[in-house]
Amino acid sequence: MFVSIVLLWISICFILLLLKSRRPKNFPPGPPAWPVLGNLVHLTSEDPLMNLEKLRKSYGNVYSLFLGSKPAVVINGVEAMKEAMVTKAADFAGRPQDLFVSELTQRKGTIMADYGSTWREHRRFNLMTLRNFGLGKNSMEDRIHEELQHTVKILDQSAGETLSPQVMFHNVASNVICKILFGTRHEYDDESIKVMIQCFTELNKVANGPWAMLYDSVPLVRFLPLPFRRAFKLMETFLSFAVSRVNEHKESRIPGEPRDFIDCYLDELDKKNDESSFSEEQLVRQLFDLYLAGTDTTANTLLTAFLYLMNHPQIQERCQQEIDQVLGGKDRVTFEDRHNMPYMQAVIHEVQRVANTVPLSAFHCTTRDTELLGYSIPKGTMIIQNMISVLKEEGQWKFPHDFNPENFLDEQGEFVKPEAFMPFSAGSRVCLGEGLARMELFLITVTLLRKYKFIWPEDAGEPDYTMVLGGTSTPKLYSMKIQLRSTQ
């Protein structure tokens, strides 16, 4: 009798799960879903991006998957991306609030916060504060060039030798954003910067990995001692670091005379009224978001840039010729110089295109019942942007599957930016760190190419352009040989 009851309950649960995974009326098509796991296999395979591309060829530019029993819509191609992220930006500006990354951030900050007044208030404040601290102005250029002096010292010492650039580029990006947020930089052998970079590297691996997907799809596993628990400990490490910096600022600050982002936020707290969403807890979460947005993506894009430049020496040489011609006897490059360097701009944008550093962006969700390319999308549906479908879309690029700066040059050799170029996503949720990233990529790449020649080591074998997937994509570990240019 007992066995019969158990079997009956299992059968009922199984039927309910099957029913829950049925697609609503006029919902985008997609592959059949497994009970409990849904289409998890498509996102946790060895090459999930290739799987998503195969599904796009079968079901079109708007199709659906199930993460467990939760429906999600995958959007592909410029037409669908523009309609969702730009034309109907408010409809698609939400964030799923029951995912691993939402739990990790406690739905605070700006990256994973839901679309609402708190998010708008903080995003507006963050953008204003970044502008006030020189985003797009000389003061930001000064910060980047000051940090580059430390990088140049490392490369000078390595001239004629081989080094692994992974740590170096992460240190550069980390210290630039640290100066903005905390008002300080760290020596490269400082344990603080090592811990922070390791913390974010691990978090990114977990965030889009199979354990996070299992957490999202099967709620029953969330309390088990599985590898995703490690991410919560890493988050606590960063929060402890951030709280200690906030406390130091509270003791040393002069109200109304901000030195950095923390001081600006504390000034805002002094003016806080009952309707304000500002708090010290929100402050440390904002620090997490801005550090994340300002470090890993920039470092990984730089790693991609020099991987390709070393293995396309003719492109590296043409960049250097343009740099020498434009800069002449100037002491250093400025961000304004980009307007006179169409080829250099084309190369940097092409690097961003092939790097596809945030391949699935941050997941969105719909804020109301809406439509997309004729399909009905209910409120609360998770939205996944397949960025490779745009950055390598046939018909949008001259050479969609090759590394070729001609993708960003017109017939006269002038720089052009196709509408399919959206590595930072688009619309109201476009990446907060876009302006800083663009400036860093240009100034760092030009400064280093002006002084050094970067060579693929003879004993390194064939280059592997396969990206390692996580919260962001990064090239596999490689080494570079450094040579001082004879023109310097």
Whole-angstrom distance, CA of residue 438 vs CA of residue 432: 12
Q: Which of 78, 103, 60 is nearest to 212 (CA)?
A: 103
Q: Is the pLDDT of residue 152 over 90?
A: yes
Q: Is the pLDDT of residue 11 over 70?
A: no
pLDDT band, residue 207 (cuts 50/70/90): confident
pLDDT of residue 6: 44
Q: Is the pLDDT of residue 261 over 80?
A: yes
Check if the beta carbon of residue 446 is closer than 8 Å to that of residue 183.
no
Q: Mean pLDDT across the stretch 159-163? A: 92
pLDDT band, residue 103 (cuts 50/70/90): confident
Q: Mean pLDDT across the stretch 409-414? A: 95
Where do the domains of the chain lie?
A: 2-484
Whole-angstrom distance, CA of residue 133 vs CA of residue 137: 8
Whole-angstrom distance, CA of residue 442 vs CA of residue 338: 8
User: 222 phi and psi, to 5 degrees?
Assistant: -65, -25
Q: What is the pLDDT of residues 376-385, one digit of tens each?
A: 999 999 999 9
Q: Which of 37, 43, 7, 130 is nearest to 363 (CA)?
A: 43
Whole-angstrom distance, CA of residue 345 vs CA of residue 438: 10
From 11-25, 222-236, 254-268, 346-360, the region with the lowest mean pLDDT: 11-25
From 2-6, 147-151, 309-313, 391-395, the region with the lowest mean pLDDT: 2-6
Q: Is the pLDDT of residue 202 over 90?
A: no
- Domain 2-484, what architecture? Orthogonal Bundle (1.10)
Q: Is the pLDDT of residue 10 over 80?
A: no
Q: Is the pLDDT of residue 408 over 90?
A: yes
pLDDT of residue 349: 98
Instruction: Please enumerate in sequence order all residues whose Cβ is within 8 A of that of 338, keeping only pairs 6 or more positions apart, or say none.
Output: 344, 345, 442
Higher pLDDT, 206 or 66: 66
Measure Cα distances from 204 to 76, 156, 211 in Å.
23, 31, 12
Higher pLDDT, 294 or 45: 294
Q: Mean pLDDT across the stretch 77-92? A: 95
Percent of the chain's residues with pLDDT above 90: 59
Q: What is the pLDDT of residues 276-322, one digit of tens each?
A: 899 999 999 999 989 888 888 899 999 999 999 999 999 999 999 99
From 52-66, 112-126, 389-403, 448-462, the region with the lowest mean pLDDT: 112-126
pTM for the predicted model, two decimal places: 0.90
Higher pLDDT, 37 or 334: 334
Q: Is the pLDDT of residue 75 over 70?
A: yes
Instruction: Please enumerate in sequence order all residues whose Cβ is within 8 A of that of 210, keeping only pairs 6 or more positions apart, or say none.
Output: 44
Q: Is the pLDDT of residue 1 over 60?
A: no
Whole-angstrom distance, CA of residue 431 vs CA of residue 324: 32
Q: Is the pLDDT of residue 19 over 50?
A: no
Whole-angstrom distance, CA of residue 224 vs CA of residue 228: 9
| Most confident option among 132-141, 203-212, 230-239, 319-328 | 319-328
Higher pLDDT, 213 or 224: 224
Instruction: Please enumerate in sequence order all residues whose Cβ is within 8 A of that of 462, keeping only pairs 6 or more positions apart, or say none.
Output: none
pLDDT of residue 366: 96
